[in-house]
Structure 1
Amino acid sequence: MRKTILLMLFFTFLLVTAGQAQYGIQRSIRNKVRRDAREHAVKEEEKAKAEAEDEAMEKADKELDKAAEAAEPGLEKAEEAEEQAEEATIYGIGKYNEFAEGYEADVESKDPADYKKYRFNSAVVTYDVNGSEEGTKTLYIDMGGYKVAEYREVQHKKSKEKTASIMIGADVIGIDFDDKSATKVHNPLAYALANPDRDWEETAENILEHTGFKKTGQETILGRECDLWQHGKMKIWVWDGLTLKSVYGRDVETATNVQIDKGVPQDVFEVPEGFEYEEINAGDMFPEISEDDAKAAFDEDEDRDEFLDEIENMTYSEYKVIVLEEDPGLSDQEIKQSYLYLRQEAKRRHRIEE
């Protein structure tokens, strides 16, 4: 009897265990089927969405084809104008090269007297500098303006600074005394303006007027009667071509001493020994440009043609994947616009060939 009961309990345990195992297997199968179904549904949804987008973009592209065909005559005229522009550019380059070839020689042969800007021969003017900078400035003029040098020594909040700017003819030299470096650069505008018959006082006034300044009166500084020019909060006091006072917001420069025709030390127009020196000459300002360079600028880019070939045979969904890999931040609208534009550009090549 006892043996019979034990056997019954054993078989009952087997049945329960087998039932649980079978139920677990069935549940796993059901879960997998559900997952597969969901994944399939998502893929089908994405596929349907991509196909719908492709179809919509194809329709939009065809509508643009009609507009592009209507606009083709105007585009052809634009291309004709571009060809004329290319011819004009090549002609202009020829003239430019003629000018550039003789420019450096013309600069070197220029008479220093052509750069004369002042009625006097020499001047030394010292200034007090106040405002965002505190310090002094000294202006040196020689040979009537052929040589001009300006030295500044100013104190900033946490540092001092000493710099100089020298102009000799049409060459400008900037000097940084802290770095012990100097750079010489040719100034084509100074060369172009050099003219012994030019009325520099009139020229200076014209420049001030064109930049918004107006002559508002006269005031005396250091016993010299100055014209007062004003533009908003900016003021300039000018005597005989020299600025004796200037106000730019809180920055004020005021002449404290003026010496006319009493000589100028020539070392103020020289770069100190041992300074690092860089020079950009007149010839460097106008490099030679060949006609081949100009034509190359107008020629079509072969790489771009290859790219347009790919675009022409690419669906929108394929294009979108590539674009988002390069720039994930682009919006759908931006991607659609760029796709349609490139498609039209790609197809237009065939219309031109026909």
Structure 2
Amino acid sequence: MRKQCLLVVSMILLFFCSLAWGEDLPWEMKLPFKEATIHYELTGSEQGKETLYIKEYGKLRAKYRQATATMMGMTKKTETVEIIDSDWMYTYDLVEKKGEKTTNPRKIYLTEYNKFNAEEKKNFEKNAKELGTSMMGQFGGSVQQKAGKILGYDCDITTVGGMSTVHLLHGTDIPLRSEIAIMGMNSTNAATKIDTSAAIPGSAFAPPQGIDATLNQEAENMMAGMIQQTMDTLKKPDGAKQMQAAGPMGMMGAGGMDKGMQQGMKDEGMSPEEQQEMMRQMNEAMQQMQKKQPRK
């Protein structure tokens, strides 16, 4: 059940990250520094530390995490490494000695975008920039540009239905502080230091010795399905309105996104009962977000 809860959280965060385009498209984001090392402290359901290494203005990243997580009365020690390059996202579990990979979402976005003709690209760019604020508002969320400052850097503050508050480095996808309270999880991840001068060794981006990364087909199918469905909708003249009317769960059932999820769960070996429970949790989380929507 713990794995299913984490998967639900990942799906929700993926959907709302897709709404945070703002001024830039997903593959156009550029960080204000070429290289940086960011140190974090984890408190709450997860306690520990995290270090994020960044090169090439964010195109190359490596995150090292050591934490003790408590969920549903169970405590588990975790030690992971996540490496992101232009093609892949690698995740290594140093405790279980396992690794997996999925395609970098930005690569999927760009691949789908390059299939569009000139008119579809224009529709997509217009709809993508219109969609974020309206959808966030529909589910009790908001985005405030340069509404805070952490360690001397301006931050955009994003809230979703009272369930999460994230301080993003302005105009980027780098969180400097995140607070999440969802499905029994209450966690805070806060940056404590940003170092842009210290040299970063190349070994920081090397995979751990003795661990191979295998393709996570479940996550690949779910992510690709969500992105493709979103792109197919936003390329239409009224794409933003269609997504606003459908909402997250409507989008998942309107054109194949649900099929990607179902196939992914089958590939993972989930029973029909487990798949039903997964969808129940997803619906419950979305309903909670809708209930928190401000009334006019």
TM-score range, shorter chain: 0.3 to 0.5
TM-score (norm 1): 0.40
TM-score (norm 2): 0.47
Higher helix fraction (1 or 2): 1
- Larger RCO (alpha carbons 8 Å, 6+ apart): 2
